[in-house]
Homo-oligomer: A and B are copies of this chain.
Amino acid sequence: MKYFSTLLVLLFSFQVSAQSDAENLKSIYSNALTNGKSYEWLRHLSNNIGSRLSGSFGAEQAVAYTKLELEKLGLDKEWLQPVMVPKWVRGLPEFAYIETLPGQTTHVNICALGGSVETPKGGVRAQLVEVKGIEELKALGKDKVKGKIVFFNRPMQAHLIDTFEAYGGCADQRYSGAYEAGKLGAVGVIVRSLNLRLDDFPHTGSMTYGDLPVSQRIPSAAISTNDAELLSTMLSLDSSINFFFKQNCKQLEDVQSYNVIGEIKGSEFPDEYIVVGGHLDSWDLGDGSHDDGAGVVQSMDVLRLLKESGIKPKRSIRVVLFMNEENGLRGGKKYAEVAKSKGENHIFALESDSGGFTPRGFSFDCNDAVFNMVLGWKDLFKPYLIHYFEQGGSGADIGPLKSDSIVLAGLRPDSQRYFDYHHAASDTFDAVNKRELELGAATMASLVYLFDTYGTSAETPNGTPKN
């Protein structure tokens, strides 16, 4: 009889706990969709502040604005974490044309890559050599490259379902193109924009000169996909045509900036930290609504959603708005450095930096035991059409926190439209759908809630709740 009542009590507790998870998720999702703050925050960040390149006035305003908004949420603490960041400026609008015959020119759309040097005052004018990638460039060798502008024209692979995989297969041209072409004596680099769509927007992004001496650092720019197609066609008709481009971007001295942090103190395990974040900086074209205004406002909303749903976290939950993900990752590195120096025990970190599209799930950087625990949560997410739970990467900003004891995760939204906007003037507020953004915030808050409730020790008996 005693045994039987124990069983009953156990069953009853299990029932309560299980209902409570499903009910908490329901409350989080309902609040996000009917009372979410993320969209209004993003409207301000995008339309009133605009682009937020590290070291820019926009970035400074964004720090002040998000700090102020976090203060309004009634968290336990908000603060700015100082970090020195690189400051690169685009200068005057870039200008480029294809010259088929002397004086016969066709204008094309380009933008300097982030970190590129400027062209000489009068611009660069040279013949082109078109390649599909770095290996092909190396095979050509110095003789065929010296004095030329190298045109990297490997398109993103459209047949890949995950557009980030297609991006990963092409990003080396943009990042290392100028380094490799500079070593071979090229005078400039033009890279096909990393965009699956054919349109007129050039897409910027980070690049490196590695250990090249200043004399070998050549200007590099992205060209829109439409104009890359045009240029390639014209080259196939006449390989001797000239290309001209002019840009006066500059790398300046590092400047002071900040990560913006808010915290709810944990009620049971205040010394165990959970981080949720996105990056506050953006490229200077467009207003960075998807990259990563979305991740910023979603992360802020996670803490608000937990509070509004009456959830009192056991662990300390921090929202971290990282500065300088795009061209330095200084914010992510600084946060991890400070956390380490203070001996803070971070058990879980979640990043949203893949756009504000309908969330599909998460990728996890964790051991199999924790991953199996997570798989036990799948049914809780089913009503919200969250189905993607895979092991894999997480996010750039939280990467420096990596250790044996932390679980890292990245929100995985639908990726089909992301590269239409990524790093381009098309990344604007109107490209974000309110409900899609809000569903992302709710999905993140739900995962944070579950990790807060069950921790990351997969052996916990209550680590496998049922819906």
Contact = CB atoms under 8 A, between A and B. Distances in A.
Interface residues of A, number: 26
A358 B435 contact: no
Nearest to A387: B387
Interface in A415-436: 416-417, 420, 433-436
Given A161-B383, A387-B388, 11 more contacts: A30-B159, A33-B159, A161-B439, A196-B435, A358-B358, A387-B387, A416-B435, A416-B436, A417-B435, A417-B436, A420-B433
A29 B161 contact: yes
B434 A197 contact: yes
A158 interface: yes
Contacts of A196: 435
A159 B34 CA distance: 6
Contacts of A435: 158, 163, 196, 416-417
Interface centre among A161, A383, A434 (most CB of B within 10 A): A161
A8 interface: no
A290 to B, nearest CB: 13
A23 B417 CA distance: 26
Interface string A196-215: 11000000000000000000
In the A-B complex, list the 8 residue pairs whose CB atoms are closest, starting with the nearest: A387-B387, A30-B159, A416-B435, A33-B158, A33-B159, A34-B158, A416-B436, A358-B414
A34 B360 CA distance: 24
Nearest to A36: B158
B416 A161 contact: no
